[in-house]
Structure 1
Amino acid sequence: MLIIGMGFFTMGADMSMMPMGEGIGMEMSRTKNIGGPLLVCLILGMLITIAEPDLQVLAEQVPAIPNKILILSVAAGVGLFLMIAQIRIFFHIPLAKMLWVFYPLVFLLAFLAPDSFIPVSFDSGGVTTGPVTVPFIMALGIGLATLRSDKKSREDSFGLISLCSIGPILAVLLLGIFYEPDQALYSPTEVPAVETTRDVALLFTHAIPEYFKEVAVALIPIAAAFAMFQILFRRYKRHQLMRVGFGFLFTYIGLAMFLCGVNVGFMPVGQIIGAGIADCGYAWLLIPIGMVIGYFIVAAEPAVHVLTKQVEEISNGFVTAKMMQTALSVGVCISVGIAMLRILTGISVLWFLIPGYVFALVLTRYVSPIFTGIAYDSGGVASGPMTATFLLPFAMGACEALGGNVMTDAFGIVAMVAMTPLITIQMMGFITQMKEKAKRRYIEVQMHQLEDDILYFD
């Protein structure tokens, strides 16, 4: 189901989400009055966030705050920061400057929030940029920057996802400070009792209709927004509308199958494997096994394929999909290893997040703005449904087996997965830039040598 679902989803996103987001972005960039586009960004940001299945999973696991309050607060955070991203493109504000403003604010609020809310808040920033959100927001950024002919338009097409992932973190931290629940609790994943393949088949048979219903509820508001856009602007012709319609159908089928596969199959299995390794007498094996899982699991994230393809196209092949995939895999491998170390030792997530983000922000001074945008977008994309439905239960199962505090020790793994690609992809960009400079210097030296030889023979 995961493989078939991902295939349908990727094809559907290419046919529907990408042209829809790009078209809306281009129409908004044509207007000289910024008020209308900002309102559209707020509404679209909230709609696609409420539609994000990963957020529903996270809300279910944190019952200390009612689901509706948590989901609406996070949706408002995404909508607000999508507006801020639009303002950045409109006024040509460098992404790095905005990151230097908002991340210190995030860590300031983190010191004021209850300790048990800190990992959950950073995890919310990762799960909200999932398979529904990423294709649409990436295409929206491309559309907003397309009509500009200046050299920075390509750079500005990235960065929307990175800013949108800050909003949920701030929203949950503010909930922890002002909503004042006694403590952040969590709902453990129930491992179903299955003894035969018939029991497994029945589990999936009962779950499939629920996920088709859930995805329909998620996609209908987006389809309605697209229909309203088409009525107002008449942008797409009949054959284009048919293509988008089939794309929505493929997206619907693929996402429902994918989510059913990962939630019914991977979530309980992740918890069982984590608990089994922790109980085997060699708990330290969590670190190497977790790193191997992290290296390969990022390739199963549906939104990662959308991002790597877009990056290769926009950069004209300068940043290849293979380079992106390798940098993401290395980043997630490291992050899962650190997350397992935290479970074994109980070290606060802030001891890793603060130095990591500081280093990532410092790197923005030394790499090209396009690599900064790609890196910070990648952080949100890497922490998708596979992370939320396999790695998080894996960490919970291990933490419970070792008798640790699940809220402070297990939660935070999504945040780590979202943070390390910021470093690995910017490092990839830095190394690429150094190689290009060395290549240019070599060519210049050869040209000077050739000129000297010509003068000598003359």
Structure 2
Amino acid sequence: MLHAFVKQLFHALKNLSPIVGVVLLFQLAVFQTLPPEPVSIVVGLFVVAIGIALFLLGLELSIFPVGKNLANQFARKGSLPLLLLFGFAIGFAAVIAEPALIAVAEQAQQISEGRVNGLTLRFIVASSVGVVMALGVLRIILGWPIHWLMIGGYIVVLTVTFFAPPEIVGLAYDSGGVTTNIVTVPLIAALGLGLASSIKGRNPLTDGFGLVALAVMVPMISVQLYGIWVYQFSQATAVLITDVADNTRHWSVKAIIDLATMIKDILPMILVVLIFQYGILRRPLANKLKVSFGFLMVLFGLYAFVLGLKLGLFPVGTLMAEQLIAKGMNGLILLFAFMIGFATTMAEPALIAIGNQAEEAAHGKLKGAVIRLIVAFGVAIGITVGVYRIITGDSIHYYIMLGYVIVVILTAFAPRYIIALAFDLGGVTTSEVTVPLVTALGIGLASSIEGRNVLIDGFGLIAFASIFPIITVMLYAIIVEKLSNRRSAAA
């Protein structure tokens, strides 16, 4: 166990090195200064690495085996209603307490002056994910091709976007992106892979992936429909939002509160697993001690990860965004957006976990490290395009619609084995590392540039970070397939 932890820690430190490199490059070469409290930042990054290592080890001991075993047991039981109910429950429970969604909902309520209700927004998104999880489970059981669901779904997304008010479009696409985090993604992926592995005639690579993609897509539709209702058919309701943060609290009190919040975020999913395992299946968990230890590792790993972000990454991200905006050099802002997009994605624990799962399911056809590079490149392009849109003040409608038109066209031509995985990878890029930095950058830019509306222009960067990885992964698969066919023909 200790050897595995050290190996994961070394791997995490290597993955975080691009972020350190970007920060040092800009601080020393561009701003010619060091950030304040550099020791705190270094300690924070090391704590992030420890958190990632604990989290990934905990996943292997708890969430992955529990999710796959539950899926296998339900498949053997042969009860479709129970499987669909489990899919809905795990989807709703995973998202309703999602910290990134809560943060986005609160920001949207505050910026819209109460017109968008934060709690209503969270229930709409969580219910959408619950429904779509049930639909995704049904797809795996019946063997529906994922590409038809994705093409049809995004045609609906684009149609609704055409009629949606500009105030809600960026928020809706961001709401779809933040439904997936470093806990929910592995659990959802484990459920899909477990079902595909236990049903005869299903392939884990082509059928097991895709649940994350559906969990990202459907909230985009439901939130835009909510926005159409709010902005066209209802009256604004003022909602007073208070800041409950108390900066005078001792660091130890804050640490206890953060840990309690983390337990609250994970508890709904654990309760769903226990209720279905003991209350419905009436079977004990296999390796209870090992699974319990794994869940504790996930909890403390996630806690260390978030604590390290607060110590290291968040202060640096905020400081550099302010420095870049103060310099007023658009080229530097775009370069920073590209480099920080690439660096943060390479450090995403959820992407690392899914990359490893994809490599295992593909039996040598795909490499996890290559997948991560391609996805990170896609996120970097997406965030750069999104920042460019904020700088120029162009409408987000046209950028988003064009992006998904390209996605739909590529889906029709991409190899079938890559489609579900490509859409899932678009969802896992928007997690605990990327979302806070990207959201802060978007709102900071929209607040600082004259003539920009924070609600219309500040949101949307997360959406760009989701679209472009789908494009780059599909293009990679198409190119590899064509080169392979040429080699086969030449031989």
Does 2:161 match 1:161?
Answer: no
TM-score, normalised with respect to structure 1 = 0.88
Contact 1:113–1:174 (CA under 8 A) maintained in structure 2:
yes
Pairing 1:141-290 to 2, within 5 Å after superposition? 141-150=192-201, 152-180=203-231, 205-231=252-278, 232-233=280-281, 240-263=287-310, 265-290=312-337
Equivalent position of 1:123 in the other structure: 174
2:490 to 430, 442, 455: 442
Contact 2:277–2:283 (CA under 8 A) maintained in structure 1:
yes
Pairing 1:102-121 to 2, within 5 Å after superposition? 102-121=153-172
Supply the distance in 2 between the matched residues of 1:253 and 1:394 (Cα, whole angstroms).
Answer: 28
Does 2:397 match 1:350?
Answer: yes
Q: Structure 1 residues 263 and 111 mapped into 2: Cα distance closer, same or farther (>3 Å)?
A: farther
Supply the distance in 2 between the matched residues of 1:208 and 1:437 (Cα, whole angstroms).
Answer: 56
Q: SS of 1:385's equivalent? A: coil
Contact 1:267–1:393 (CA under 8 A) maintained in structure 2:
no
Supply the distance in 2 between the matched residues of 1:309 and 1:319 (Cα, whole angstroms).
Answer: 10
Counterpart amino acid of residue 419 in structure 2: T
Equivalent position of 2:74 in the other structure: 28
Supply the distance in 1 between the matched residues of 2:333 and 2:165 (Cα, whole angstroms).
Answer: 28
Does 2:132 match 1:81?
Answer: yes
Q: Structure 1 residues 186 and 22 mapped into 2: Cα distance closer, same or farther (>3 Å)?
A: farther
Equivalent position of 1:14 in the other structure: 60
Equivalent position of 2:94 in the other structure: 48
Q: What's the Cα RMSD here?
A: 2.6
Contact 1:60–1:187 (CA under 8 A) maintained in structure 2:
no
2:472 to 421, 424, 427: 424
Equivalent position of 1:360 in the other structure: 407
Equivalent position of 2:426 in the other structure: 379
Counterpart amino acid of residue 89 in structure 1: I
Contact 1:50–1:71 (CA under 8 A) maintained in structure 2:
yes
Supply the distance in 2 between the matched residues of 1:26 and 1:151 (Cα, whole angstroms).
Answer: 13
Deviations 1:371-396 (A, max 9, x none): 11111000000111222111110222
Contact 2:197–2:203 (CA under 8 A) maintained in structure 1:
no
Larger deviation: 425-434 or 44-53?
44-53
Q: Structure 1 residues 183 and 285 mapped into 2: Cα distance closer, same or farther (>3 Å)?
A: farther
Percent identity of equivalent pairs: 28
Larger deviation: 133-142 or 355-364?
355-364
Q: SS of 1:128's equivalent? A: coil
Aligned residue pairs: how many? 435
Does 2:53 match 1:2?
Answer: no
Larger deviation: 269-278 or 4-13?
269-278
Counterpart amino acid of residue 133 in structure 1: T
Counterpart amino acid of residue 347 in structure 1: D
Which segments of 5 or more consecutive residues in structure 2 lack a partner in the other structure?
Answer: 1-46
Supply the distance in 1 between the matched residues of 2:441 and 2:134 (Cα, whole angstroms).
Answer: 36
Q: CA deviation at 1:427?
A: 0.7
Does 2:117 match 1:66?
Answer: yes
Contact 1:52–1:218 (CA under 8 A) maintained in structure 2:
yes
Q: CA deviation at 1:418?
A: 0.5
Supply the distance in 1 between the matched residues of 2:237 and 2:297 (Cα, whole angstroms).
Answer: 38
Contact 1:311–1:319 (CA under 8 A) maintained in structure 2:
yes
Which segments of 5 or more consecutive residues in structure 1 lack a partner in the other structure?
Answer: 444-458
Counterpart amino acid of residue 25 in structure 1: A
Equivalent position of 2:189 in the other structure: 138
Supply the distance in 2 between the matched residues of 1:149 and 1:88 (Cα, whole angstroms).
Answer: 14
Supply the distance in 1 between the matched residues of 2:131 and 2:319 (Cα, whole angstroms).
Answer: 39
Contact 1:130–1:383 (CA under 8 A) maintained in structure 2:
yes
Larger deviation: 341-350 or 305-314?
341-350
Q: CA deviation at 1:11?
A: 1.3
Counterpart amino acid of residue 417 in structure 1: A
Equivalent position of 2:355 in the other structure: 308
Equivalent position of 2:16 in the other structure: none
Supply the distance in 2 between the matched residues of 1:3 and 1:319 (Cα, whole angstroms).
Answer: 26
Equivalent position of 2:481 in the other structure: 433
Contact 1:77–1:170 (CA under 8 A) maintained in structure 2:
no
Contact 2:204–2:361 (CA under 8 A) maintained in structure 1:
no
Q: CA deviation at 1:264?
A: 6.0
Contact 2:141–2:199 (CA under 8 A) maintained in structure 1:
no
Q: CA deviation at 1:274?
A: 1.7
Q: SS of 2:256's equivalent? A: helix
Equivalent position of 1:451 in the other structure: none
Deviations 1:426-448 (A, max 9, x none): 011111111221222233xxxxx
Equivalent position of 1:90 in the other structure: 141
Q: SS of 1:365's equivalent? A: helix
Q: CA deviation at 1:119?
A: 0.2
Supply the distance in 2 between the matched residues of 1:405 and 1:41 (Cα, whole angstroms).
Answer: 38
Contact 1:274–1:396 (CA under 8 A) maintained in structure 2:
no
Q: CA deviation at 1:420?
A: 0.3
Supply the distance in 1 between the matched residues of 2:184 and 2:328 (Cα, whole angstroms).
Answer: 41
TM-score, normalised with respect to structure 2 = 0.83
Q: SS of 2:413's equivalent? A: coil
Contact 1:273–1:394 (CA under 8 A) maintained in structure 2:
no
Contact 2:151–2:411 (CA under 8 A) maintained in structure 1:
no
Contact 2:162–2:397 (CA under 8 A) maintained in structure 1:
no
Q: In terms of Rg, which structure is larger?
A: 1
Supply the distance in 1 between the matched residues of 2:447 and 2:481 (Cα, whole angstroms).
Answer: 45
Equivalent position of 1:453 in the other structure: none
Deviations 1:271-316 (A, max 9, x none): 3322321121323311111111111110121101111000110001
Deviations 1:12-62 (A, max 9, x none): 122111111111211222244422211111111100112322212212211
1:399 to 425, 432, 446: 446
Q: Structure 1 residues 237 and 164 mapped into 2: Cα distance closer, same or farther (>3 Å)?
A: closer
Supply the distance in 1 between the matched residues of 2:236 and 2:390 (Cα, whole angstroms).
Answer: 20
Deviations 1:60-84 (A, max 9, x none): 2111333321211110000011111
